[in-house]
Structure 1
Amino acid sequence: MSPITTTQRATALTCLVLLMAATRLNHFAAIPDASWAVFFIGGFYLRAWTRWAFPLLMALAVLVDWVVIHRAGLDFWQHYCVSPGYWMLLPAYFAMWAGGMLLGHGYQGAHWSTLGKAALLLLASVAVCHLFAQGGFYWTTRNVASPTVGGWLQNYADWFGPYLGTAALYAGLAAALQVAREQVGKLRQVQRDIRR
């Protein structure tokens, strides 16, 4: 598998920005928010650009939240979903990014073993991301009157499945596109070899 080019990285970043903006703008509506998967996919494709691509996507996430909340006529810091724990999204999203980076490290193309590694890394990344994001909200929001460890565990369990399912949906679509890209590359190589 040839290394990813700068043009391919730029294309991936552009697609991830558009995907996050399009789905996060509606993350209080029926369209599933792709943010968690965007950071996982970003870690896979943009590992070499982590120093600036991760902060860029993080800033975009906050900006979109601010736009959505203000468009609804609300003060950002008074919104139900925003608490002092909002800043826990930074390590939460980096957990997703790190999972993608680990998947991309030494990547040699799509294989069944790669699929298993991807599934385990996605599961672990979502578990850690959810720990920070949900825990940050649960323990710092004024909307939970009497937080308890039992209540927190129940809340974590209630929301883990839906967040994992959404991240898996988008990561699966990205994986399918990656496999298609690799197959097209192989076909083109065969055609070039035949012409020689």
Structure 2
Amino acid sequence: MNNNTQRAIIFALVALLLAATRLHLPASLTHFGPIPDASWAAFFIGGFYLRSWSRWAFPALMALAVLVDYIVIRGQGMNFWAHYCTSPAYWFLVPAYFALWYGGMLTRKHYSRQHDGRSLGVLVASLVGSVAVCQLLSQGSFYWISDVVSQPTVAGWFKNYTDWLLPQPSVGSSGYLMVTAIYVGLALLAHVGVQQIAQLMAAHKARA
């Protein structure tokens, strides 16, 4: 397969992952469904594999995310624009998700096929940093701009920020960072596995 064919397959898989898991979100669109929402991981993974297609791949996945939200909200018999999740803060998801996309791009820039400690360090730092920024933009805008919180405070915002970013076993929340890291970790395992298979096949052909 050529690079464009590979990218097209990856784009389709990332889009499928985003749509399939995002559709399981409940009414509020803020809690994890039966299958944890992989949207954040999808944008990070997309930035890694589709960096050269960013001009159209990111907008396409962003449009898909909005479409899925529309389907979920309309499926509940509600007006999309009247739903509290689609306040003016909703559009902060664009820069929030791009932070994840950029984190994936940054990881790709420093990627090494040897999977050395430096590459792993860049991956961890990029993932944690981009998730933190995404949470800052998405949760922060919702907390301060929407009408859901009647009397916002810095202390209230910070607690809400960390409650959703980090695991909270007491309330049954896995946290966006852990869920995103799990999906990205699974993608990394698949990446290494496919790479090893490709190397074995190439070695077999060379000996044939």
1:11-63 alpha-carbon deviations (Å, 9 max, x no partner) = 00000111111011112232211100000000000000000000000000001
Give the whole-Å Cα distance in 1 for the aligned partners of 2:80 and 2:140. Answer: 20
The answer as to 2:172 corresponding to 1:159 is: no
- Give the Å deviation of 1:135: 0.6
Amino acid at match of 1:189: A
State the match for 1:128 in structure 2. Answer: 133
State the match for 1:80 in structure 2. Answer: 84
Q: How many residues are matched?
A: 192
Structure 1 segments of 4+ aligned residues over 4 angstroms from their partners: none
Q: Identity of paired residues, percent?
A: 53
- Matching of residues 32-181 of structure 1 within 5 Å: 32-113=36-117, 114-161=119-166, 162-181=175-194
Give the whole-Å Cα distance in 2 for the aligned partners of 1:169 and 1:34. Answer: 9
The answer as to 2:201 corresponding to 1:188 is: yes
Give the whole-Å Cα distance in 2 for the aligned partners of 1:55 and 1:132. Answer: 18
Preserved CA contact (<8 Å) 1:36 1:96:
yes
Q: 71-80 or 129-138, which moves further after superposition?
A: 71-80
1:152-189 alpha-carbon deviations (Å, 9 max, x no partner) = 11110111110001111111111111000110111112
Q: TM-score, normalised by structure 1?
A: 0.94
Q: Which has the higher contact order (CA 8 A, sep 6+)?
A: 1
Q: 20-29 or 36-45, which moves further after superposition?
A: 20-29
Calculate the aligned-residue CA RMSD, in Å. Answer: 1.3
Give the whole-Å Cα distance in 2 for the aligned partners of 1:171 and 1:80. Answer: 30
- Give the Å deviation of 1:106: 4.5
Give the whole-Å Cα distance in 1 for the aligned partners of 2:110 and 2:162. Answer: 33
- Give the Å deviation of 1:109: 1.4
State the match for 2:172 in structure 1. Answer: none
The answer as to 2:17 corresponding to 1:13 is: no
Q: TM-score, normalised by structure 2?
A: 0.89
Gaps of at least 5 residues in structure 2 are 27-32, 167-174
